[in-house]
Amino acid sequence: MAVQLWAVALVVLASLVGAFGPILLKKASARRLSKLSSLATNYHLFGGVALYAAGTLLFIPALKGGDLSVLYPFVSLSYIWVSLLSVRFLGEKMNKLKWLGIAMIILGVSFIGIGSN
């Protein structure tokens, strides 16, 4: 089955939406989580779980547009999104090894895409 461009775009969007989940979960972890009342009012926690779920729900229709063996590696782009978003929203720092890791992820996903033709 040929992979359709809309399916790739939807998987990339799903990975981006899903990548906001860990950012909010990290913010949720700053609050005390030992009491039920603190869990019920931890909106970052609910938001993080909801974004993970939204990313998954976006991924499901994309599966109609191509082979899973080609589309699923695009989910690894979420590691890139999380790295970049953590710099922006959490004030984390990037170093050369992290940038090398991002380059390797992009290279690997590219090889899979090229190999599917």
On the question of pLDDT at 102 being above 90, the answer is: yes
Cα-based angle 77, 82, 113 (whole degrees, multiple of 5): 5
| pLDDT tens-digit map of 51-68 | 999 999 999 999 999 888
Picking from 81, 7, 16, the residue whose alpha carbon sits closest to that of residue 55 is 16
Selected residue with higher pLDDT from 72 and 31: 72
Domain ranges of the chain: 5-115
Find tokens 């990313």 and name the residue: 55
Share of the chain above pLDDT 90, in %: 66
* Cβ pair 51, 25 in contact under 8 A: no
State yes or no: pLDDT of 116 exceeds 70. Answer: no
Q: Which residue has the higher pLDDT, 62 or 40?
A: 62
pTM (2 d.p.): 0.84
What does the pLDDT read at residue 117? 63
Q: Which amino acid is at 114?
A: I
DSSP 13: H
